[in-house]
Amino acid sequence: MKRIAESTVRRLSLYLRFLEEFEGRGLATISSDELAARGGTTSAQVRKDLSFFGSFGKRGLGYAVPELAARLRQILGLGREWRVIILGAGKIGSALAQYRGFWQRGFRITAVYDADPAKVGRKIDGFVIRNIEALERDNASERADIAVITVPAESAQQVVDRAVAAGIPAIMNFAPVQLQVPDDIALKTVNMAMELEGLSFALTNRD
Amino acid sequence: MKRIAESTVRRLSLYLRFLEEFEGRGLATISSDELAARGGTTSAQVRKDLSFFGSFGKRGLGYAVPELAARLRQILGLGREWRVIILGAGKIGSALAQYRGFWQRGFRITAVYDADPAKVGRKIDGFVIRNIEALERDNASERADIAVITVPAESAQQVVDRAVAAGIPAIMNFAPVQLQVPDDIALKTVNMAMELEGLSFALTNRD
DNA sequence: CTAAGTTTGTGAACAAATTCACAAGTACCC
DNA sequence: GGGTACTTGTGAATTTGTTCACAAACTTAG
């Protein structure tokens, strides 16, 4: 298959969200124009994005809402459950552990780890915080799909190295650093400081 | 000035982080090659990014670390303090209110709001949670620069509408929805569900 | 002062992503 | 059944972003 741009994947994710909303309202079909208006893009963009994966619409009519939603879920790999562990039981890690929105889309948090002996053994939302020293051993049997990194910047690289060594194939990084991982590991970084600086730039350089 | 791509701004932010690290180690100069290696890009990209704003280097030598850092801070608008309010005192909002990393870069959290009467009046990290009904009134005198939206998806649009009506010119959105704002308002959305779906896609469609 | 060795800044070439534009289907009405 | 009104799917055109490649400028050594 042709390589798919990251921006395309993000938009598919958006489209799916809208489709689910329409599905809830019981609408049967939707046009690329309606999807586009909702997502702040153009109808041509919507059709091009979908065309990478096949042709799902009916000319003159549009797309069948439940079918397109099902196809997008399949494309995005949301037809299964993903096992997610959280590394770092600080403020952000704890907040994510308690966030219900993930469960809904098939992302199951299966464990929370921390390096601080004072935190290990305590509970967050039903999870007993485990010692990060046990990560490799635990993961030999528990096999997580995604590790969420919420440790301080200073220790993020060594924690991600451990996660990779333990065989975890995807990393979602919240630490404000650029992490190095092997090519075959999927990595996404959410850097709030960088986003704020983007706003700072926009506010400073507007006409 | 020519329009600057968002990707360029993100990289400037990265470069600045590295420069500050180098500054801390007392290094006097750095080449575009060294900066590039650190940020996972190319030296040509670094030079092109900087060239939009002027020419800061010395041929044969590289860039003076403290000077380039200062220029980048100026370009990104980090030479001043930004007043930030948090709208939504749930798990994520509270975690952000307590996060120290923002302060360091000049983003000062000045207030936390919530709509839930049970939360209003309580304290988070020294901030008394205010009633969101008071937003417009408060902001007439307090004039925040950036509003961080951490309310549930259902109420995010109405909250952002209020923030815009109150005269806040920049929005950082953590609610998992696509917000509509006027053209002259700066908006960044961090959607964790979407990032996770990106990882799901990567894990599903790798060779 | 000259020669050798670096490294910047930038137009030009290239690649990637988006938008255009239109033929080819489909539905609906009379 | 024929005509009208829509809407998709997709090559081609355009725009945007990245990489190349090299002259110009500077440093250092002798």
Compute mean pLDDT per 10 residues along chain A, 207 residues long, and list them. Answer: 92 97 94 95 98 96 97 97 98 94 93 98 95 98 98 97 98 96 96 96 91
CA distance readout (Å), A207 to A20, A84, A197, A203 = 39, 44, 18, 9
CA angle B50, B44, B12 (to 5 degrees): 35
Q: Which residue is nearest to nucleotide C6 (CA to C1')?
A: B60
| Mean pLDDT (whole number) for B82-98 | 96
Does the structure show a pLDDT above 90 at B72?
yes
Say how far B27 CA is from D30 C1', in Å: 28
Q: Is the CB atom of residue B128 positioned under 7 angstroms from any atom of strand C? A: no
Tell me if A172 and B98 make a contact (CB, 8 A cut-off): no
> For chain B, what is the mean pLDDT?
96
Enclosing H/E stretch for B187: strand B186-189
Q: Do A82 and B196 touch (CB under 8 A)?
A: yes
Q: Is the pLDDT of residue B53 over 80?
A: yes
**Which residue of chain B comes nearest to A83, CA vs CA?**
B200
Distance separating alpha carbons of residues B9 and A88, to the nearest angstrom? 29
pLDDT of amino acid A206: 86
A109 three-class SS: strand
Residues 6+ apart with CB under 8 A from B171: B146, B147, B149, B160, B163, B164, B179, B181, B185, B186, B187, B188
Q: Which pLDDT score, from 0 to 100, does residue A1 have? A: 67
Q: What is the pTM of this model?
A: 0.94
* Partner residue facing A204 (CB), from B17, B77, B95: B77
Render pLDDT for B95-140 as a digit per residue (tens, 0 to 9): 999 998 888 899 999 999 999 999 999 999 899 999 999 999 999 9
Summarize pLDDT for B153-201 with one digit per residue, the tens: 999 999 999 999 999 999 999 999 999 999 999 999 999 999 999 999 9
DSSP state, B90?
A: S
- Give the residue on A whose Cα is nearest the Cα of B6: A198
pLDDT score recorded for residue B206: 86
Distance (Å, rounded) from C-alpha A146 to C-alpha B197?
11
**What's the pLDDT at B101?**
86
- CB-nearest to B188 from A9, A146, A199 is A199
B82 touches chain A (CB under 8 A): yes
